Structure 1
Amino acid sequence: MSPEPNSGHFLILTIIFLTIINPSYSLTNTREILNKFKTNLANSNTQVFTTWNANNPICNFTGIVCNEESFVKEIALSEQKLEGTLDFESICDIESLEKISLGANSLHGTISSHLSKCSNLTHLDLGMNLFEGEFVEISSLRKLEFLNLNMSGFSGRFPWKSLEKLTNLTYLSLGDNLFEKTSFPLEILNLYKLEILYLTNSSIEGTIPNEIKNLVSLQRLELSDNFLMGEIPDGITKLASLQILELYDNRISGVFPLGFGQLVMLKYLDVSNNSLEGDVHELRTLTNLESLQLFENKFSGDIPVEFGEFKFLKEFSIYKNKFTGELPAKIGSWADFEFIDVSENMLTGLIPPDMCKNGKFLTFLMLQNNFTGGLPQTYANCSSLKRLRISKNSLSGRVPDGIWSLPDLEMIDLAMNQFEGQVGHNIGEAKFLAQLFISNNRFSGELPEEISKVSSLVEIELMYNQFSGEIPVKIGDLKKLTSFHIEGNFFSSNIPESIGSCVSLSDINLAGNMFTGNIPASFGSLRVLNSLNMSNNKLSGVIPDSLSSLKLSLIDLSNNMLIGRVPESLLAEADDGSFSGNPGLCADGSRGTRRCSPVSRGSGSGLGVAKYCFIAGALVLVLSVSCFFLIRMRYKDRENLINRNFSWHMKQFHIITFSEGEIVQALKQENLIGKGGSGNVYKVELGCGKKLAVKHMLKPTIDSASDQKSYPSSATILPKRKSRCPEYDAEVATLSSIRHVNVVKLYCSITSEDSNLLVYEYMPNGSLWDRLHTYQKIEMDWNVRYEIAVGAAKGLEYLHHGCERPVIHRDVKSSNILLDEEMKPKIADFGLAKIVQTNKVMDSTHLIAGTYGYIAPEYGYTQKVTEKSDIYSFGVVLMELVTGKKPVQPEFGENKDIVSWVHDEMKSKGTVIGLVDSYISDESKEDAAKVLTIAIRCTMRFPAQRPSMRMVVHLLEQVEPHSPFDIVIDNDIQIVKD
């Protein structure tokens, strides 16, 4: 007789049976675990979890992958804008779980030791997040094949020992974290199956062990941006499968080891910024190379001719070495070649002609060598080219006409050669040209009028050539122009008043030409002008009083024929020779001129002065009559503006106690406080004492006769068709519904047939830019700067997360952060703002937006602006607050901004504190340095690596001055390589 079955055994068998025939029975706990997982991420993009509900099978949840038995096999939620913490104590109770993919989110907090319970994991991706603290011991995860912790925010000591038992790993990425310094972790050398090893910026020091040869399956080895020294070990030459080898930004020395040429599978080789030396002939056999980066080393000798036969080569950079000889004639002629930089060597011979053969060439850098001959005609049709820099060589001949009009070209740098001929009249077609550097050549002829059509121009340097004729009258159309250097030429005639319309000009040098006539009074309207040199010309007349309003660090008007008194305000920053060589000038201080005094009768000098005074008197009489009529006309114009626009329409967004008439009547010249690309700004003080700021934006209209856009004079009424002002529309649409203490308040809009007025609260302390960088600069202690940072962050957080429809500002910068009477910040100027569509999808825009120095790097290749672009720009503002530097300064170096400067300085000085503004007290420098680390996170190269604005506010609040919040502030913090 069989024994009676045990009831406990029977229950177990029943559960097993139910599990097999009804998987949902065993998934009950899984649903609870996933609900808890979702709860911890409550502030995230809720669209991800719309399918995570009780009516839906777990296997239909977004990001959940099940196996054939309907058990959860994978959580796949990378790049989903998740914010919150992870609870591995619950997650690892899902025994069927094999893969966790949560990379490129904004997850934070620490990782608990319960992760070690996920013993069936084969794939773990937590990369590009914002975790804190040390990573945990994971030696129990024996099945793990893929581990990615890259740029996750981990710090402290990494448990290298735990890797020793993870012998199934094929992918290991631990780079760009804040680990403690360590020698090369020998535990990794036992992971024979490794195909990918990424340890860039992992604080590894010492030498690369020769035993690296054990990793025979390696296809990708990246050890860049560490503290490695010594030579490249022979063992690397045994890695026959290697396709990518990156060792840049270390202290590696010596030569390429014998046998390095055996790595014939290599596609990408980057050993830049080390101390390597010798020739590079060992690389002649690497015919599969697509990218070869050898720059900033001590290499010498010639460039092997075999490099010209590399049929896959797209990038070639060897700048700052000691190479000699000629470049191979065929280099770059086979593949879709994109980039060459051989600058700062001792190369000779001709420029290779066919680097743009396949029409993909972007960057052409060969400056500071000894190249001869001309610029090959083949590049005249290189429509893909963005940067052309061949200055400081011995090149000659005429520049091919097509060069001047290349459609995507952003920089032309031909300076310090022997080029001749004229600037092509087709230059007006170069719509993206920002920098034109052709100084110290033999260019001649007139500057073509078409240059005024290149509205993107920021810098023009034409000095020391043989140009003649007049400056084009329409030069004032260049609204972005900041630097205009044409000294040492033969320009003549009058200096056009229109230069005063170049509202961004900070540096003007017209010295050493043949200019005649008066100094344009319009120069006085250039509010950001910092340096003005018009010496050694034939200028006459008096120095305009309008120049008195300028705050110049340099002025030189010497050696002209100027007369009268030097305005007192110009003497403060002038050198002794600033006004010398003008016999008719006098000043109340020497400055190289005679002292002003009463004219003595009967003296020869008195007769001379009398002559000048007679001329000056005649001029004053003429000017007085002219001014009378001008004032009368201006009064008439103003009367027309007020009277004819009888149909002013006011739209209120807040309770107000003033009328449109009070606002319009106050739009006087004496109330003008600022000019911008979208209009003038006036300060209006009401009868009750309340102050307002009014932006006057003229509507772009279409003349019915010509069908062309124009901005009509206020004194002229023409038949028009209705048209829109996109900046006005954007600003009203954005600000009319926003109510936040850190966003500037828009009281109302007032519109008429040809004008738009926006009435704001008045901000008496101007902009953050003014307080940090201009003559209005004040010494702000760290507490004030910190409060500005937090307040501005909260304003942007509201725009991104608090509005019914999120707003992308698209022009975040310090000049758009205004300060009230208590120095509280408010986000302003929403003329470029983009409101996210009602479907809640964070769209992007292809319109040009932003300001140079603040623009996120992805805009260069996608031309898209998202909320992460705002975050990058805000990171730049934080860097300004901490360092006191402008976003772009000459001291940063060629093609570098504050972001790259911070990275370079941290590498060289080994500290963040050393970058803090000297105006900040020593006891506050550590607090400021903590904010700089947050700025670095905001300015990560890839958008997914940047925190959300909500997370930025959270991080800033954690580093309140004198708080105990512990954050690493030494040189372990790095920026991803550009």
Structure 2
Amino acid sequence: MSSFTDEVVSSILRSTGALASVEGDLCHYTNVVQCENTLYALTIDVPSDAQAGSKLVNNSIPIPVLPGQDVVFVSSIIINDPSSKIEDKVEHLLKYNFYLLQNLTINATGVTGTLADNVVPFSFLTTLVVHGKLTGTIPNRYQNLQYLDLYGNQIKTFDAKNFDFLQNVNLSHNIVDSLIVFWGTQGTPKLYTHVDISDNLLTTLPSEVNTPQLEFLNVSRNSIVGTLPKGLFTSTLTTVDASHNQLSGDLPDVSGATALSHFNLSNNGYSTGTEKVLSRSTLSVFDVSNNALSGSIGSIASDVLTTFDVHQNSFTGAVPESLAAQTFLRYLDLSDNAELGGTLVLNGTALPTAETVNVSHTAIQVNITDEYLRTSAVRQLSAVGATVVFTGAAEGAALPGTLPDSLQTLDLTDAGLTGTLPVEWGTNARHLQSVKLTGNNITGCVPRGWTDVAALREAYEELNTTGTFELCPSDDGGGREAKKGLGDGAIAGIAVGAVAALVLLVLLIVLMVYCCKRRKKKKGTAEGIETAATTHVRRTNPLTEGCSTGEGESSCDTSTDISSESEYSVPV
């Protein structure tokens, strides 16, 4: 190793905060330096306690002027900065002559600048990874790359004319609006196997492409118009994601993509062509949600589907019967296709691995058996506005007594249910996180056990926003007729109370009349006695009655005139 090499490597170790000091043989620092013959390989994990504003390297190291003496003998530089301590321009590192460098990986969001083109080419550099804030383009200095990953920068253009060895390209989450000679030409194919240019500013793709080895393509979240060129769909292509663009017309011709597994063209403006894609027997993921697709969904050739998402379209006709037979399907969303009808039968063999089943806002009838409820792995079941029939529910019941242990979310709003609520859910449905039942013909009272389970209590409270639902007196069943308004028991209680009050009122009136008459009678008797005493008894003062006084004489009548004793008798 040259002294200049040691000086640059030591500076990288100190500047990044990997080592506080460096002395002697660099090969002794085995945690960050690997010595391979005459080359160093650096693997640096910037510590969280490193100084903020750390650098990639000392930018002021003098560069030897003699040819060959300026080479830095390093085969690999890997710098990971999870705590974002480094703040530096990448040019400060790349100005040195890393002629023999094979791998440059910098995961540091504080690294800015551009990929310099004014230094000798990287003849051996095959891997370039920079997750920072680089701007500009990718110069020809890096034309021997096989693996290019500039995720999350601000790269704007890329002229790939001289990049003949590129196999894996990740320019996602940049501001790329121009790709020049990127997709190959008639006589010059590109050897890409993986291309990810998602989350950029692309508006078009060429009508002719030549990427015969392409396996993975992601151009999602751009502003691409038109449709995808047929040349992309070669026999090697397994995954295509062109979602969230402005593509329209007929879905692309995938007849040449005999190994196609993942197909995601959701959130575009396509109108027809599902049958061409669904004819692929290798299809695992089919997502054309939120388009303008109409007509019948068509038959499904694949029996290895894991995702089938066609929500937010205008499909008509009957739901394909083969969907229920998909043994690997985990995600099924048919929602928001108002005229999509038919019957989806969920029995003991249907959709055994499905975790999400959504038929909301369709004309589909879903027949759900008890066997399905016992064996299903479903976690989210939604049928808002559809028709749901639980074939094993008890007579007069709207819902079954048992649910899958896996079920967390159940939305049966406006699902055509009629009948009572199951008391069993208060004990065997505690795994539920959300239940919605409004818009149905729920009869009977609400089992008291529902108030002990948060999701069921919320469902009960939501039901009460559309009417008055009474809690059952005890959890012996929810079948008593007490749907809305006052229950029979409450009405009977009010009636008995009213009768009792009326009887008491009558008794009170009778008692008051009796008392008044008795008091009046006593008063009359007393008045009669007083009158009689005044009329028939004349008391005289024997000293004054019948006496006259004259001068010198007096004359007194001392007699008492009392009627016969038989005419007057006053009890004393």
- Per the TM superposition, whether the score is higher than 0.5 is yes
* Cα deviation digits, residues 218-269 of structure 1 (max 9, x gap): 54342432132x3225xx135432322221112x15333xx44332332222
Change over 3 Å in CA distance of 1:213–1:247 after alignment to 2 = farther
Residue of structure 2 aligned with 1:347, choices 247, 253, 257: 247
What's the offset of the Cα at 1:183? 1.6
What's the offset of the Cα at 1:186? 2.9
Residue of structure 1 aligned with 2:90, choices 170, 184, 193: 184
CA contact 1:158–1:180 (8 Å) conserved in 2: yes
Partner Cα separation in structure 2 for residue 264 and residue 292 of structure 1: 14
SS in 2 for 1:330: helix
Change over 3 Å in CA distance of 1:547–1:143 after alignment to 2 = same
Residue of structure 1 aligned with 2:214, choices 268, 293, 313: 313
Partner Cα separation in structure 1 for residue 123 and residue 486 of structure 2: 82
Change over 3 Å in CA distance of 1:326–1:377 after alignment to 2 = closer
Partner Cα separation in structure 1 for residue 142 and residue 473 of structure 2: 74
SS in 2 for 1:500: coil
Q: Counterparts in 2 of 1:12-161, with a 5 A limit?
A: 113=22, 116=25, 118=27, 144-149=38-43, 156=50, 157=54, 160-161=57-58
TM-score by length of 2: 0.68
Find out whether 1:289 has 2:187 as its counterpart: no
| Match of residue 232 from structure 1 | 137
Residue of structure 2 aligned with 1:544, choices 447, 450, 465: 447
Change over 3 Å in CA distance of 1:477–1:352 after alignment to 2 = farther
Change over 3 Å in CA distance of 1:189–1:144 after alignment to 2 = farther
What is the aligned-residue RMSD (CA, Å)?
A: 3.9
Residue of structure 2 aligned with 1:373, choices 266, 272, 288: 272
Partner Cα separation in structure 1 for residue 472 and residue 287 of structure 2: 42
CA contact 1:469–1:492 (8 Å) conserved in 2: yes
| Match of residue 327 from structure 1 | 228
Partner Cα separation in structure 2 for residue 533 and residue 356 of structure 1: 46
Find out whether 1:217 has 2:123 as its counterpart: yes
More helix by share: 1
CA contact 1:485–1:509 (8 Å) conserved in 2: yes
SS in 2 for 1:412: strand
Structure 1 unaligned blocks of 5 or more = 1-108, 570-581, 588-594, 604-978
The AA in structure 1 aligned to 2:43 is L
Find out whether 1:472 has 2:369 as its counterpart: yes
The AA in structure 2 aligned to 1:547 is W
CA contact 1:171–1:196 (8 Å) conserved in 2: yes
SS in 1 for 2:161: helix
What's the offset of the Cα at 1:396? 2.4
Count of aligned pairs: 448
Residue of structure 2 aligned with 1:167, choices 64, 67, 71: 71
CA contact 1:535–1:557 (8 Å) conserved in 2: yes
Q: Counterparts in 2 of 1:875-954, with a 5 A limit?
A: none
The AA in structure 1 aligned to 2:447 is P
Partner Cα separation in structure 1 for residue 48 and residue 40 of structure 2: 18
SS in 2 for 1:193: coil
Residue of structure 1 aligned with 2:148, choices 242, 245, 254: 245
Change over 3 Å in CA distance of 1:422–1:523 after alignment to 2 = farther
SS in 2 for 1:393: coil
CA contact 1:540–1:561 (8 Å) conserved in 2: no
195-204 vs 530-539, greater mean Cα deviation: 195-204
The AA in structure 2 aligned to 1:526 is A
CA contact 1:163–1:187 (8 Å) conserved in 2: no
Partner Cα separation in structure 1 for residue 71 and residue 137 of structure 2: 26
| Match of residue 522 from structure 2 | none
The AA in structure 2 aligned to 1:298 is L
Find out whether 1:462 has 2:366 as its counterpart: no
What's the offset of the Cα at 1:332? 2.0
CA contact 2:169–2:195 (8 Å) conserved in 1: yes
SS in 2 for 1:521: coil
Residue of structure 1 aligned with 2:103, choices 197, 214, 218: 197
Residue of structure 1 aligned with 2:425, choices 502, 516, 523: 523
What's the offset of the Cα at 1:380? 3.7
Q: Counterparts in 2 of 1:403-418, with a 5 A limit?
A: 406-407=303-304, 409-418=305-314
Find out whether 1:434 has 2:333 as its counterpart: no
CA contact 2:227–2:249 (8 Å) conserved in 1: yes
Q: Counterparts in 2 of 1:575-724, with a 5 A limit?
A: 584-585=484-485, 599-601=493-495
Find out whether 1:386 has 2:284 as its counterpart: yes
531-540 vs 516-525, greater mean Cα deviation: 516-525
What's the offset of the Cα at 1:112? 8.2
Partner Cα separation in structure 1 for residue 280 and residue 36 of structure 2: 58
CA contact 2:97–2:119 (8 Å) conserved in 1: no
CA contact 1:143–1:168 (8 Å) conserved in 2: no
SS in 2 for 1:280: strand
CA contact 1:356–1:382 (8 Å) conserved in 2: no
Change over 3 Å in CA distance of 1:281–1:372 after alignment to 2 = farther
CA contact 2:325–2:349 (8 Å) conserved in 1: no
CA contact 1:493–1:516 (8 Å) conserved in 2: no
What's the offset of the Cα at 1:377? 4.0
Partner Cα separation in structure 2 for residue 166 and residue 523 of structure 1: 77
Partner Cα separation in structure 2 for residue 357 and residue 215 of structure 1: 38
SS in 2 for 1:436: strand
CA contact 2:86–2:111 (8 Å) conserved in 1: no
* Cα deviation digits, residues 137-166 of structure 1 (max 9, x gap): x9xx89643514165869745673589778
Find out whether 1:508 has 2:414 as its counterpart: no
Residue of structure 2 aligned with 1:266, choices 166, 171, 178: 166
* Cα deviation digits, residues 735-760 of structure 1 (max 9, x gap): xxxxxxxxxxxxxxxxxxxxxxxxxx
SS in 2 for 1:470: strand
